Amino acid sequence: MTDASAIRRHTWVGWLISAGVLGLALVLLFYRLGHGSLHDWDEAIYAQVARETLLSDTWTTLSWNGAPFFHKPPLYFWLTAFTYKMIGVSELAARLWPAIFGFGVVVLTFILGIRVHSWVVGAVAALLLLVVDRGYYGHWWNFLSLSRVGMLETALTFWIMAALLIVWEAERRPWLVMFIGLPVGLAVMTKAWAGLLAAAIPLVFWLIAARHRAIDFASWGGGTLLALAVILPWHLWQYAMHGPLFVHEYVGINLTGRLFQAFEGNTGGPLNYVDILRRGFSIWGYLWPLAYLWAVWKAIVQGDRRMKLLLVWITLPLLLFSVAQTKLGWYISMVYPAIALLVALTLAELLTQRLALGLAAAVMFVCCLRLPAAADGSRDVKHFALQAVRSVNPVEPLHVAQEDCAAPPSPHASEKPLLPVGNTRPSLRFYLNRPLICIEAHAIQAGLHPRHTYVVSTRDLWASIAHSGHVVLESHGFILARWD
């Protein structure tokens, strides 16, 4: 065989394996994506916010249960609302964009693997992102599961990776830095302050690893202006419309509240995220810390820029979210591609590329490959709601009986109060598809409730308020009753 023939054969084999890995990603990401039911809390909340955006045709201010929703920027909800308009409201439409961005992350991981080493590193890293530990198949553990629920994390990770790819390529063409403002702006418009990591990670890497020590202020300044052009219009418009209420919800609760308080009881120890990353990568979760130490040695002793990129990418979010008081498993998902690339690069350099690819494929198919189960976070609510909506006029609101409907009062008395929903499961709001009004059990017992309307209650709570109405429907642990 001639050298030219060997090169062509090697090229075709590489393309075939690469196509197989990306094809596997497509299957695992989209297989039965629309089956099951939405999870409480965030997935169902986001799905309903997007629906209200579509139905109200008010795309500037988001709403939840008819009240302003300031906890997140609008980009993800605009995309989902547009999808609803195209294919209808469903679990598939609510989860489609996270899966699309998830596939985009796999593709960018493959591309970055090629840029820092070879197509083998890209293919191995892409495979590692698809790993599923059978003991931890939950949407807060591994990247594949996170890509199959209606959350913001894969979109944020995609924009961070786009910014990193721009900075990496800007090493040879510094003028490219001016375009970093686009993914940074879109990251902030996806997940507010967390989106600033799309600027922080590339900037820190540039400062410690760039060959050109002098900062190109013109290019970075152009990137800053581009980011501000994407970020400012919506934020300034919200402040002009809602004033201090927007600042309180968007900054006071969504940023400082999560940094300095354990929001909604979600807390953990200093090594909380290290444990989550171990679970998220199955067997590789025990090996990546060793690869991290090897990368530190390579970065310090040899000045390896590739390792500096991956170390900054992993370390900065880990430190930030470990210090924050609120800890949720998916917060750290932006480092999954970096860990996958780090392990792939380590295997390729300590072994041969062929052995690295063979080992990753063998481990994948022996222990870590699994067709996704349908995400089914609120099966009981969905089945009850599908029956209940046939019994109630579509425009009639429903009362939901709760032990406690207390909600934090608005600090601005002049603002329209939020509709009280108490601890009502967000999936009820989505599947019942009508405004829900929370009412406390003691008020029902005292007869302080509207007449000639419907109430939804759990079976357990109904025992204490049953005298107030007659049962219309009982299903899956819920009661629909009519108050006379």
Q: Tokens 């300095």 belong to which residue?
A: 260
**Mean pLDDT over residues 233-255, rounded?**
87
Q: Tokens 């009240």 belong to which residue?
A: 67
Q: Tokens 């993800």 belong to which residue?
A: 76
pLDDT in tens, 345-358: 999 999 989 899 99
The answer for residues whose C-beta is within 8 angstroms of residue 226's C-beta and 6 or more apart is 178, 179, 180, 181, 182, 185
Query: How far, in Å, CA of 34 to CA of 48, rounded?
Result: 16
Query: How far, in Å, CA of 137 to CA of 146, rounded?
Result: 10
What pLDDT does 315 receive? 96
What pLDDT does 403 receive? 84
Q: Where are the domains of the chain?
A: 3-368, 379-483
Query: How far, in Å, CA of 224 to CA of 293, rounded?
Result: 34
**Mean pLDDT over residues 226-251, rounded?**
92
Strand 398-402 with 453-458, pairing: parallel
DSSP result, 124-142: HHHHHHT---GGG-STTT-
Is 38 within 8 Å of 378 (Cβ atoms)? yes
* Statement: residue 408 has pLDDT above 60: no
409's torsion region: left (phi>0), alpha (psi -120 to 50) or beta?
beta
Sign of CA dihedral 98, 100, 104, 110: positive
Average pLDDT, the chain: 86
* Statement: residue 267 has pLDDT above 90: no
Strand 469-475 with 67-68, pairing: unpaired
**Which of 341, 342, 339, 333 shows the shortest CA–CA distance to 160?**
333
pLDDT in tens, 357-399: 999 999 998 888 888 888 888 999 999 999 998 888 887 788 8
* Statement: residue 271 has pLDDT above 90: no
**Cα of 473 vs its chain's centroid, Å:** 36
What pLDDT does 35 receive? 93
* Statement: residue 266 has pLDDT above 70: no
**Which of 6, 276, 16, 296 shows the shortest CA–CA distance to 145?**
276
pLDDT in tens, 112-129: 999 999 999 999 999 999
Is 160 within 8 Å of 198 (Cβ atoms)? yes
What pLDDT does 394 receive? 80
In sequence order, the β-bridge partners of residue 401 are: 439
Tokens for 310, please give them: 């991956």
Tokens for 242, please give them: 């809602």
What pLDDT does 212 receive? 52
Interior angle at CA 279, CA 274 and CA 282, nearest 5: 125
Residue 453 phi/psi, 5-degree rounding, is: -145, 180
* Statement: residue 260 has pLDDT above 70: no
